Amino acid sequence: MTGHAEPSHERLRQHFAQRVIHQARQMLETWQRLQRGEWSSAGLGELSDANLRLQRYAERFEQAEHIGLAQAIGQTLEAIEANSARLNSQLIGELNRLMQRLSRTGLRQGDQLDSVHLPAVRKPVHILLQDAERAERLAQQLAFFGLSAQALDSGEALRAALSEHLPAAIVMDVDFAGPGAGLRLAADAQHGLQTPIPLLFFSLHEADTPTRLAAVRAGGQEFLTGTLEASSLLEKVELLTSTTQYEPFRVLVIDDSRAQALNTERLLNGAGIITRTLTEPMRAMAELADFQPDLIILDMYMPDCTGVELAKVIRHNDRYVSVPIIYLSAEDDLDKQLDAMSEGGDDFLTKPIRARHLITTVRNRAARARHLKARMVRDSLTGLYNHTHILQLLEDCSFRARREQRPLSFAMLDIDHFKKINDRHGHPMGDRVIKSLALFLKQRLRKTDFIGRYGGEEFAIVMPDTGLDAAHKVLDQIRQRFAEIHYPAQPQDLQCTFSAGVVQLDEALDALSMASAADEALYRAKHAGRNCVMRVEP
């Protein structure tokens, strides 16, 4: 009798756990909507209500981990609300970390890796292909990337799955269950939904314009043909279901009038923009290095120097050449405004200024600057940071780690036998493997880690708040899982591995010597037979 009771109790416990996880997912969806829109008190209230529901569910079903998270999130939300007049980046950062911890609570038991390095788990992707075996293989491959995927074999199975919960996306063969039937099935699945499910259509053969038009009308956001491969499909899903962290714009206000500076700060804070005020222009460069703003608001006339002079000083530093500078002054002489803008400024706003005008100008300029900076510092093939910027990030992080006395690790990775991959399978396959590893690293590492393409098939990773043991452990786990990925090729599928070297910051190492030490460890890994991670002992 006891033997039967225990499995029943375990099933009941699992059922309750799923109910709580479902509520947690609903809360994460609220958080994602808040990120995509403007930060506001209404959005904060909605998030707070969702968190209270999560806490009630967790307490009712005795889910200790969710109870603790809901309580911590509630306290952080209260602190943000109390501090709303002066938006605090530390509080927003703390809320981000808690939300990421919450997103990891739905992991399947078999995926429990190092808790500090797990990727966020999202809703599953439903895959419906004519070739059921291919759909299953694809679902397994996506699981290696940390994405939950489910192969479904009929329209009934899709409808049943949708009745339980909505997926992150649907991959649909246009001819699933008959010629053109997939298009109709997908359109039916979308019917009546307030927020459409991202749809990716697939056709084994090149499709004609009427078919593609029907896919657009059914709500299709991507149309894939030929060979479906896990890493490229994941890339498409990532773009359609992006759940990046909420990162408020950061604005540095330089104005000798404290009253004027605080007024500007208050207006921007109310719109969810983090602001730092500086009334001593001579400290501008130190403040820029520490705060790293998206945009600078600069008074034209200050006792120690003019705004134009300070703008020139800022522009002399290559790191701040592309940071927008907006002059904010009572100066209404148009010629003087134009002269000022020709000397390093990007815009001129005249006091007194309407709040909406200021907020819109700042937000548009900062958004464009972020977009341009992302293009400048990222590698075009993988979207990872380029060689120059990853070394700059290593330098910044090592400076911060020393100041705060926190651990920092740095790793170099290299794909094994990459030249043979190019020679045997061609450069397009080589590019696919590089992109695949880039995506895999983004999935498996934390949002707080920085990943760069160091050059060719070589990658670099900066891991803040991570000691050598933890860094070595997570890299070795990633190495093992990456080796399980298959790439469709002839005469048989291709599998790849990588080697790595990892080092931790200490008193004897600066950023450049860390890079050199990690590279040396990588060299040792290559000579030890490849497909391994070597560490530099302190």
Please give, one letter per residue, the 3-state secondary structure of 51-113: HHHHHHHHHHCCCHHHHHHHHHHHHHHHHHHHCCCCCCHHHHHHHHHHHHHHHHHHCCHHHCC
Q: What is the pLDDT of residue 15?
A: 61
Q: Examine the pLDDT at 166 and tell me if it is beyond 90.
A: no
Q: What is the pLDDT of residue 139?
A: 86
Q: Which residue matches tokens 């790793």?
A: 411
Summary mean pLDDT of the chain: 82
Q: What is the pLDDT of residue 112?
A: 33
Of 214-228, 278-292, 368-382, 460-474, the one with minimum mean pLDDT is: 368-382
Domain 250-376 has CATH 3.40.50.2300: yes
Q: What is the pLDDT of residue 110?
A: 30
Q: What is the pLDDT of residue 120?
A: 39
Q: What is the pLDDT of residue 251?
A: 92
Q: What is the pLDDT of residue 115?
A: 31
Q: Which whole number is the average pLDDT over 302-313? A: 83
Per CATH, which fold does 125-240 belong to? Answer: Rossmann fold (3.40.50)
Partnered with residue 200 across adjacent β-strands are: 171, 222
Parse the chain into domains and list their residue ranges: 13-105, 125-240, 250-376, 387-536
Q: Which whole number is the average pLDDT over 465-488? A: 91
Closest to 135 in 3D by CA, of 150, 148, 157:
150
Domain 387-536 has CATH 3.30.2270.10: no
User: Per-residue confidence at 467, pLDDT binned at 50, 70, 90?
Assistant: very high
Q: What is the pLDDT of residue 279?
A: 87
Q: What is the pLDDT of residue 472?
A: 95
The top-scoring range by mean pLDDT among 23-37, 130-144, 451-465 is: 451-465
- Beta strands 458-464 and 408-415 are antiparallel
Q: What is the pLDDT of residue 518?
A: 94
Q: Examine the pLDDT at 194 and tell me if it is beyond 60.
A: yes
Q: Examine the pLDDT at 334 and tell me if it is beyond 80.
A: no
pLDDT digits (tens, 9 = 90+) for 200-251: 999 988 889 999 999 998 888 889 888 777 766 776 776 676 544 456 788 9
Q: Do 13-105 and 125-240 share a fold? A: no
Q: DSSP string of 135-147?
A: HHHHHHHHHHTT-
Q: What is the pLDDT of residue 516?
A: 93
Q: What is the pLDDT of residue 74?
A: 92
Q: Which whole number is the average pLDDT over 275-282? A: 87
Q: Examine the pLDDT at 265 and tell me if it is beyond 70.
A: yes
Identity of the amino acid at 49: D
Q: Examine the pLDDT at 197 and tell me if it is beyond 80.
A: yes
Residues 475 and 446: their CA atoms lie apart, in Å, by 12
Q: Examine the pLDDT at 107 and tell me if it is beyond 50.
A: no
User: Per-residue confidence at 301, pLDDT binned at 50, 70, 90?
Assistant: confident
Per CATH, which fold does 13-105 belong to? Answer: Four Helix Bundle (Hemerythrin (Met), subunit A) (1.20.120)
Q: What is the pLDDT of residue 281?
A: 85
The top-scoring range by mean pLDDT among 182-191, 330-339, 391-400, 454-463 is: 454-463
Q: Which whole number is the average pLDDT over 260-270? A: 83
User: Per-residue confidence at 38, pLDDT binned at 50, 70, 90?
Assistant: low
* Straight-line distance from the first to the last Cα atom of the chain, in angstroms, rounded to the nearest whole number: 57
User: Per-residue confidence at 490, pLDDT binned at 50, 70, 90?
Assistant: confident
User: Per-residue confidence at 118, pLDDT binned at 50, 70, 90?
Assistant: very low
